[in-house]
Structure 1
């Protein structure tokens, strides 16, 4: 049996150099979220996740370097340039290694920041009593005993923190605003508006925050030349928007939405669904939803327009 020919490389080029190397991506931005139990670490992590950060909760300190390595050299790294890791005393024996891990990451050129969440002992005790859960370090003692031990363990880390947020007098919305301020410039503070057309005969969308009924407009279905078309086609769109009151309705409805959308942002609501309905979800609702979406975009909102029931007839 003839042996296969050995793999060769061009003369003068070592085989090791000929091997393709995985591309190394730019270093990610790493934010370590830590601090007192009950001070708002989980809420802060949720805010960052909504902003598009890759968030890992209750991560053993030693795993942080491995995770950063995955983000810089693997396929995950292409979509996760910002990593937020919640590391705290819940990791128990692994927590002691955090200081060395942070020093190692700083030496590797990673953009590293520490966000420390704090609160007064009185407020922390009250929060634990409200949720009826023990402090992770209280053991057989009282909640206050656990808080005291935790402060001792975190004292050195608190000194290293880039940002300290005292949540004693903050509600969840205030905390979210402060966390976003920490990462200001990374993402715009925007509301995502989904405008979806639907047919009432198929039911109102379950996730609708606002429902618009446009059955007051003449139905193109009864015009044979338009029946087979949809609200995305120019003849139907022109017909619907040309009906008396159609454009006035669109403009005034968008005007009425503006203070509502601003209020949602103030209350930390980042996603809203406006459902626009007609009988079958093919003509009027599609044309009006496209018109509403276009005007919202013109006013600076991030908008997605979909036709839920198009094609069901």
Structure 2
């Protein structure tokens, strides 16, 4: 299989990184930021991961993105496939999605790296 780079990010911090696939998680998936008990946590915390992964549709999107990555990997040009996935602040949905996607892609035989561009930035006050 191929090498896949996954970068999670927050749209409120900077422009999306360059990628073959960019997944925008801002509008269709529940934001843990709205829960006071989760707001200052990150995807490194189990309650945040559980909340994001319990959102209807998120696992289907992980599966669909994995299918798209595999299609890119089998294209005529060999090379690394880059996936960027973003949410508002880059602390909850995007890094959780990135970790779930990485796990799925590794099961499919891909070599995967994950970087969280904005995970450790301060909470965006909205």
TM-score scaled by length of structure 1: 0.37
Aligned residue in 2 for 1:273: 82
Unaligned runs of 5+ in 2: none
Match of 2:71, SS state, is helix
CA distance in 2, matches of 1:230, 1:240: 11
> How many pairs align?
120
CA distance in 2, matches of 1:296, 1:257: 8
Q: How does 1:1-313 map to 2 (within 5 A)?
A: 190-201=1-12, 202-205=14-17, 207-215=18-26, 216-263=28-75, 266-268=76-78, 270-313=79-122
CA distance in 2, matches of 1:240, 1:302: 24
Match of 1:303, SS state, is strand
Give the CA deviation at 1:228. 1.1
CA distance in 1, matches of 2:77, 2:82: 16
Once the two structures are superposed, residues 210-249 of structure 1 have per-residue CA deviations (whole angstroms, 9 ceiling, x without a partner) of: 1001111111001011111111211100100101111111
Radius of gyration: which is bigger? Answer: 1
Task: Compute the RMSD of aligned alpha carbons.
Answer: 1.2
CA distance in 1, matches of 2:65, 2:77: 21
Give the CA deviation at 1:272. 2.1
The structure that is helix-richer by fraction is 1
TM-score scaled by length of structure 2: 0.89
Q: Which runs of 4+ in 1 moved over 4 A?
A: none
